[in-house]
Amino acid sequence: MRLLSLFRQAFSEPFATGSDYRGATRIAVLYHTKPARSKTAVQSLHRWLIVTAALLLAGTVSANPLNVELRKLASDDSVNLSSVYGGKVILAVNTASKCGYTPQFTGLDKLYDEYKAAGFAVLGFPSNDFAGQDPGSEIEIADVCYVDYGVGFPMFEKIHVRGANAHPLYRSLTEATGVSPGWNFHKYLIGKDGQVIEQFPSQVRPESAVLKKAIEQALAK
Protein backbone atom coordinates (compact mmCIF):
# COMPACT_ATOMS: atom_id res chain seq x y z
CA MET A 1 0.00 0.00 0.00
CA ARG A 2 2.99 2.31 0.61
CA LEU A 3 4.09 1.91 -3.02
CA LEU A 4 0.57 2.49 -4.28
CA SER A 5 0.41 5.68 -2.23
CA LEU A 6 3.72 6.82 -3.67
CA PHE A 7 2.52 6.05 -7.17
CA ARG A 8 -0.58 8.20 -6.72
CA GLN A 9 1.39 10.96 -5.04
CA ALA A 10 4.08 11.05 -7.69
CA PHE A 11 1.79 10.97 -10.74
CA SER A 12 -1.16 13.02 -9.56
CA GLU A 13 -0.40 15.46 -12.41
CA PRO A 14 -1.24 14.53 -16.04
CA PHE A 15 1.55 12.94 -18.08
CA ALA A 16 2.09 16.12 -20.09
CA THR A 17 5.39 17.33 -21.52
CA GLY A 18 7.98 17.35 -18.79
CA SER A 19 5.75 15.63 -16.24
CA ASP A 20 7.48 12.28 -16.83
CA TYR A 21 10.68 13.58 -15.34
CA ARG A 22 8.86 15.49 -12.57
CA GLY A 23 7.03 12.29 -11.57
CA ALA A 24 10.21 10.26 -11.57
CA THR A 25 11.95 12.99 -9.57
CA ARG A 26 9.22 13.05 -6.97
CA ILE A 27 9.33 9.25 -6.61
CA ALA A 28 13.09 9.47 -6.28
CA VAL A 29 12.85 12.16 -3.61
CA LEU A 30 10.38 10.07 -1.65
CA TYR A 31 12.71 7.11 -1.85
CA HIS A 32 15.81 9.32 -1.23
CA THR A 33 17.46 8.27 -4.48
CA LYS A 34 18.71 10.04 -7.58
CA PRO A 35 16.05 10.60 -10.28
CA ALA A 36 16.33 8.81 -13.60
CA ARG A 37 18.06 11.02 -16.17
CA SER A 38 17.12 9.42 -19.49
CA LYS A 39 13.76 9.34 -21.23
CA THR A 40 14.05 5.56 -21.61
CA ALA A 41 14.70 5.11 -17.90
CA VAL A 42 11.72 7.29 -17.03
CA GLN A 43 9.44 5.34 -19.38
CA SER A 44 10.64 2.07 -17.87
CA LEU A 45 9.95 3.45 -14.40
CA HIS A 46 6.44 4.41 -15.52
CA ARG A 47 5.70 0.95 -16.85
CA TRP A 48 7.02 -0.73 -13.71
CA LEU A 49 4.98 1.54 -11.43
CA ILE A 50 1.79 1.10 -13.44
CA VAL A 51 2.07 -2.70 -13.49
CA THR A 52 2.94 -2.83 -9.80
CA ALA A 53 0.07 -0.53 -8.85
CA ALA A 54 -2.36 -2.58 -10.97
CA LEU A 55 -1.27 -5.77 -9.24
CA LEU A 56 -1.65 -4.17 -5.83
CA LEU A 57 -5.10 -2.90 -6.69
CA ALA A 58 -6.13 -6.32 -8.01
CA GLY A 59 -4.93 -7.92 -4.82
CA THR A 60 -6.88 -5.42 -2.75
CA VAL A 61 -10.14 -6.04 -4.62
CA SER A 62 -9.92 -9.84 -4.50
CA ALA A 63 -8.44 -10.12 -1.00
CA ASN A 64 -11.74 -10.88 0.71
CA PRO A 65 -15.09 -10.01 -0.88
CA LEU A 66 -16.82 -10.76 2.43
CA ASN A 67 -15.12 -7.84 4.15
CA VAL A 68 -18.24 -5.67 3.86
CA GLU A 69 -20.94 -4.39 6.21
CA LEU A 70 -24.54 -5.39 5.53
CA ARG A 71 -27.78 -5.11 7.46
CA LYS A 72 -29.76 -8.20 8.30
CA LEU A 73 -33.03 -8.34 6.37
CA ALA A 74 -35.74 -6.07 7.81
CA SER A 75 -33.45 -5.16 10.70
CA ASP A 76 -31.31 -2.28 11.92
CA ASP A 77 -28.52 -4.67 12.90
CA SER A 78 -25.46 -4.66 10.63
CA VAL A 79 -22.72 -7.26 10.47
CA ASN A 80 -19.34 -7.58 8.82
CA LEU A 81 -19.67 -10.74 6.75
CA SER A 82 -16.01 -11.63 7.10
CA SER A 83 -16.11 -11.29 10.88
CA VAL A 84 -19.19 -13.49 11.23
CA TYR A 85 -18.70 -15.98 8.40
CA GLY A 86 -14.95 -15.94 7.84
CA GLY A 87 -13.47 -19.44 7.77
CA LYS A 88 -16.69 -20.95 6.44
CA VAL A 89 -17.57 -22.06 2.93
CA ILE A 90 -20.18 -19.61 1.65
CA LEU A 91 -22.80 -19.79 -1.08
CA ALA A 92 -23.85 -16.21 -1.90
CA VAL A 93 -27.20 -16.02 -3.70
CA ASN A 94 -29.13 -13.02 -5.04
CA THR A 95 -32.78 -13.76 -4.38
CA ALA A 96 -36.19 -12.51 -5.49
CA SER A 97 -39.72 -13.08 -4.17
CA LYS A 98 -41.67 -13.15 -7.43
CA CYS A 99 -39.43 -15.16 -9.75
CA GLY A 100 -39.82 -18.55 -11.37
CA TYR A 101 -36.75 -19.57 -9.38
CA THR A 102 -38.17 -18.39 -6.05
CA PRO A 103 -38.98 -22.01 -5.01
CA GLN A 104 -35.20 -22.52 -4.85
CA PHE A 105 -35.51 -21.05 -1.35
CA THR A 106 -36.64 -24.52 -0.24
CA GLY A 107 -33.65 -26.26 -1.80
CA LEU A 108 -31.21 -23.67 -0.51
CA ASP A 109 -32.53 -24.12 3.01
CA LYS A 110 -32.13 -27.91 2.75
CA LEU A 111 -28.60 -27.41 1.44
CA TYR A 112 -27.82 -25.13 4.38
CA ASP A 113 -29.19 -27.67 6.86
CA GLU A 114 -27.22 -30.50 5.24
CA TYR A 115 -23.80 -28.86 5.42
CA LYS A 116 -23.94 -26.13 8.09
CA ALA A 117 -22.47 -28.38 10.80
CA ALA A 118 -19.42 -28.84 8.56
CA GLY A 119 -18.84 -25.08 8.31
CA PHE A 120 -21.09 -24.07 5.41
CA ALA A 121 -23.51 -21.16 5.11
CA VAL A 122 -25.92 -19.86 2.50
CA LEU A 123 -26.20 -16.06 2.46
CA GLY A 124 -29.17 -14.51 0.67
CA PHE A 125 -29.23 -11.02 -0.85
CA PRO A 126 -32.61 -9.81 -2.14
CA SER A 127 -32.43 -7.73 -5.30
CA ASN A 128 -34.94 -6.11 -7.63
CA ASP A 129 -32.45 -5.87 -10.50
CA PHE A 130 -34.12 -8.44 -12.75
CA ALA A 131 -37.52 -7.61 -14.26
CA GLY A 132 -38.62 -5.98 -11.00
CA GLN A 133 -39.23 -9.38 -9.43
CA ASP A 134 -38.52 -8.28 -5.85
CA PRO A 135 -40.41 -4.97 -5.62
CA GLY A 136 -41.62 -5.25 -2.04
CA SER A 137 -40.31 -3.71 1.15
CA GLU A 138 -37.85 -5.65 3.26
CA ILE A 139 -40.69 -6.57 5.64
CA GLU A 140 -42.65 -8.01 2.71
CA ILE A 141 -39.57 -9.86 1.48
CA ALA A 142 -39.01 -11.24 4.98
CA ASP A 143 -42.57 -12.60 4.99
CA VAL A 144 -41.91 -14.50 1.78
CA CYS A 145 -38.60 -15.87 3.06
CA TYR A 146 -39.45 -16.73 6.65
CA VAL A 147 -43.20 -17.38 6.52
CA ASP A 148 -43.85 -18.76 3.04
CA TYR A 149 -40.61 -20.75 2.66
CA GLY A 150 -39.40 -21.16 6.25
CA VAL A 151 -35.90 -19.96 5.35
CA GLY A 152 -33.39 -20.59 8.13
CA PHE A 153 -30.22 -19.31 6.47
CA PRO A 154 -29.15 -15.66 6.88
CA MET A 155 -30.84 -13.09 4.68
CA PHE A 156 -29.56 -9.55 4.26
CA GLU A 157 -30.70 -6.14 3.08
CA LYS A 158 -32.03 -5.52 -0.41
CA ILE A 159 -29.17 -4.49 -2.70
CA HIS A 160 -28.16 -4.04 -6.32
CA VAL A 161 -26.09 -6.91 -7.66
CA ARG A 162 -25.06 -5.66 -11.09
CA GLY A 163 -24.29 -2.48 -12.95
CA ALA A 164 -22.87 0.81 -11.72
CA ASN A 165 -24.84 0.66 -8.46
CA ALA A 166 -23.87 -2.89 -7.55
CA HIS A 167 -22.98 -3.41 -3.91
CA PRO A 168 -19.20 -3.77 -3.28
CA LEU A 169 -19.75 -7.43 -2.41
CA TYR A 170 -21.15 -8.14 -5.85
CA ARG A 171 -18.59 -5.98 -7.59
CA SER A 172 -15.92 -8.16 -5.98
CA LEU A 173 -17.71 -11.40 -6.86
CA THR A 174 -18.14 -10.27 -10.45
CA GLU A 175 -14.52 -9.19 -10.76
CA ALA A 176 -13.23 -12.41 -9.23
CA THR A 177 -15.17 -14.63 -11.66
CA GLY A 178 -15.60 -12.36 -14.67
CA VAL A 179 -19.33 -13.13 -14.51
CA SER A 180 -22.05 -10.91 -13.07
CA PRO A 181 -25.43 -12.37 -12.07
CA GLY A 182 -27.50 -13.07 -15.17
CA TRP A 183 -30.74 -13.46 -13.25
CA ASN A 184 -32.17 -14.09 -9.81
CA PHE A 185 -30.68 -16.95 -7.78
CA HIS A 186 -27.21 -16.76 -9.32
CA LYS A 187 -24.76 -18.48 -6.98
CA TYR A 188 -21.16 -17.76 -5.99
CA LEU A 189 -19.19 -20.30 -3.98
CA ILE A 190 -16.60 -18.77 -1.65
CA GLY A 191 -13.90 -20.81 0.09
CA LYS A 192 -12.79 -20.79 3.71
CA ASP A 193 -10.02 -18.35 2.79
CA GLY A 194 -12.51 -15.82 1.42
CA GLN A 195 -11.55 -16.46 -2.20
CA VAL A 196 -14.23 -17.06 -4.81
CA ILE A 197 -14.08 -20.64 -6.08
CA GLU A 198 -16.81 -20.86 -8.69
CA GLN A 199 -20.08 -19.37 -9.92
CA PHE A 200 -23.27 -21.13 -10.90
CA PRO A 201 -26.12 -19.68 -12.99
CA SER A 202 -29.71 -19.64 -11.83
CA GLN A 203 -30.51 -22.88 -13.65
CA VAL A 204 -28.19 -24.83 -11.34
CA ARG A 205 -30.54 -25.93 -8.60
CA PRO A 206 -29.49 -26.24 -4.94
CA GLU A 207 -29.82 -30.02 -5.10
CA SER A 208 -27.59 -30.23 -8.18
CA ALA A 209 -24.87 -32.85 -7.91
CA VAL A 210 -22.40 -30.42 -9.49
CA LEU A 211 -23.06 -27.78 -6.83
CA LYS A 212 -22.95 -30.28 -3.97
CA LYS A 213 -19.67 -31.71 -5.20
CA ALA A 214 -18.12 -28.23 -5.33
CA ILE A 215 -19.32 -27.50 -1.78
CA GLU A 216 -17.96 -30.80 -0.44
CA GLN A 217 -14.59 -30.22 -2.11
CA ALA A 218 -14.39 -26.73 -0.60
CA LEU A 219 -15.29 -28.05 2.86
CA ALA A 220 -12.61 -30.75 2.58
CA LYS A 221 -9.81 -28.21 2.09
Residues 130-155: tens digit of each pLDDT? 999 999 999 999 999 999 999 999 99
End-to-end CA distance of the chain: 30
The predicted structure's pLDDT at residue 41: 55
Q: CB neighbours of 142 closer than 8 A, spacing ≥ 6?
A: 73, 74, 155
Among 24, 41, 62, residue at a domain's last position: 62
Is residue 145 part of the annotated active site? The answer reads no
Q: Are residues 132 and 163 in the same domain?
A: yes
Q: Are residues 74 and 132 in the same domain?
A: yes
Q: CB neighbours of 219 closer than 8 A, spacing ≥ 6?
A: 89, 115, 118, 119, 120
The predicted structure's pLDDT at residue 40: 59
Q: How far apart are CA 117 and CA 113, in angstroms?
A: 8
- Taking 70 as the pLDDT cut, the residues of the chain under it are 1-62
Q: How do residues 80-114 score in pLDDT, each as one tens digit?
A: 999 999 999 999 999 999 999 999 999 999 999 99
Q: Are residues 46 and 79 in the same domain?
A: no
- Within the chain, strands assigned E span 69-71, 78-80, 89-95, 120-126, 187-190, 196-200
pTM, full prediction: 0.74
Q: Are residues 200 and 100 in the same domain?
A: yes
Catalytic residue among 99, 179, 204, 219: 99
List the domain range (segments joined by +) for residue 54: 2-62
